[in-house]
Structure 1
């Protein structure tokens, strides 16, 4: 079975900020001008990361700091609103110096692709040397979770399309367990509640991973995707 991508229902946020969160993102230069974004669902996380007072309430200084972070890391929104995509970017930034600091991904003499479902990030290491990532990913939603444990890439198809979900594109697909694969997700990586079991990456990251990995490469998957039951 070569499939595993399907749009899922959008995550809900507090009613007070729902309309804002769904509004089209507008790139706003990170200047000292007034910042109009309200409190976002990941406000406290961004406040802590940016060294702001952690009170979960948006202020002008908070908004400008978040907006500057978004501009620096080229997130979709650059208006100071602490949304999911900004939070996921923050997780990658925090993990970058030493993604395997907790030592959960096994260190081997050969190349291992490490898939941390707790943090929704992926990186590739050989021994203790990280050769790719970490990058943001999206794993399986409730009842279609990505299967944890050791896996091996057994099939690759640069131009794969889903045979189950309306011929949805799965560029740079690298299959590791039944219908589950590493592959690019065209569009917004953070839309919906998760994949149908695959490990989704941005198309750019999936292309880079395609160039790095090959048949018989090893993956190690662990953890729980936030918002799923197992």
Structure 2
């Protein structure tokens, strides 16, 4: 895969005795974009005014991520943005870009049109999965959560990730999902991941973990990369403290929530396989 110069400079070299040179990857760039198609220009991030968003604002990133209780902020049409002083979120009248996917998963009539019943069902789903505001608008965050829930039963249904007797990390760039399987059995349930941003795409292929550093600090950006597990020339699986659903992507690494990265750290060892395939939506 061709790389631009900025993509190749995401990390500074860190030489080790065994394995290829490890590189301290850069943190995810700060952005308000979310996974999936870029939000439409008429959409805006809802201010943290409503009850759900006030609760989210009171959580520090580190504490929220380690508890696994972080709120995920959805974009909604600007006319439906919560006004200062509001204490409830009105049911969305708009049809979101992931309306059909949400309807199908929730057992609603799949017509791609928002109805009162659709909105109520989507709101319940959003509340259950800590998506704020729970307005019933099926935006990118709701769409990604639907993909995650659908994948729980059989993430490798399409057979893209190879069945091996060794532990294999399956990183699906198409769906932005990660799981671990061994001997045809899923041993780490699928979770949401965040791969490389445009021009810094996560490289596809088969790799092995060659360096693990629980408290890694990027020597280029001097930022924390908890539970870093390097698998290809500086690209690593590691935790981030910001909302995994926000931002255009990493500088090539595979980002995970703090809690998911910690569990993956406990499961994996050096020389375990990492298999990456697909292409991130919008890249």
Q: TM-score, normalised by structure 2?
A: 0.72
Cα displacement (A) at 1:193 = 1.1
Cα displacement (A) at 1:15 = 3.9
Residue 27 of structure 1 aligns to a residue whose secondary structure is helix
| Structure 2 gap segments, 5+ residues each | 1-22, 54-87
Per the alignment, residue 210 of structure 1 pairs with 265
Cα displacement (A) at 1:48 = 2.5
Q: Distance in 2 between matches of 1:37 and 1:26?
A: 16
Per the alignment, residue 27 of structure 1 pairs with 52
Q: Deviations over 1:64-98 (max 9, x none)?
A: 11111122333354332323222111111101111
**Residue from 7, 10, 13 that aligns with 2:39:** 13
Does the Cα contact within 8 Å between 1:3 and 1:179 map onto a contact in 2?
A: yes
Q: Distance in 1 between matches of 2:277 and 2:198?
A: 15
> 1:1-230 to 2 correspondence within 5 Å?
1-11=23-33, 12-16=38-42, 18-19=43-44, 21-24=45-48, 26-27=51-52, 35-39=90-94, 40-165=96-221, 167-228=222-283
Cα displacement (A) at 1:43 = 2.3
Q: Deviations over 1:144-185 (max 9, x none)?
A: 1101111111111111122223x2321111111112100111
Q: Deviations over 1:108-140 (max 9, x none)?
A: 111111111111101101111111011110101
Q: TM-score, normalised by structure 1?
A: 0.87
Does the Cα contact within 8 Å between 1:47 and 1:62 map onto a contact in 2?
A: yes
Does the Cα contact within 8 Å between 1:45 and 1:87 map onto a contact in 2?
A: yes
Work out the number of aligned pairs and report it.
221
Cα displacement (A) at 1:206 = 0.4
Cα displacement (A) at 1:216 = 1.0
C-alpha spacing 1:209/1:77, structure 2 compared with 1 (3 Å):
farther
Q: Distance in 2 between matches of 1:153 and 1:137?
A: 17
| Structure 1 gap segments, 5+ residues each | none
Cα displacement (A) at 1:35 = 4.3
Larger Cα-atom Rg: 2
Cα displacement (A) at 1:34 = 8.5
Does the Cα contact within 8 Å between 1:2 and 1:178 map onto a contact in 2?
A: no
Q: Is 7-16 or 194-203 further displaced after alignment?
A: 7-16
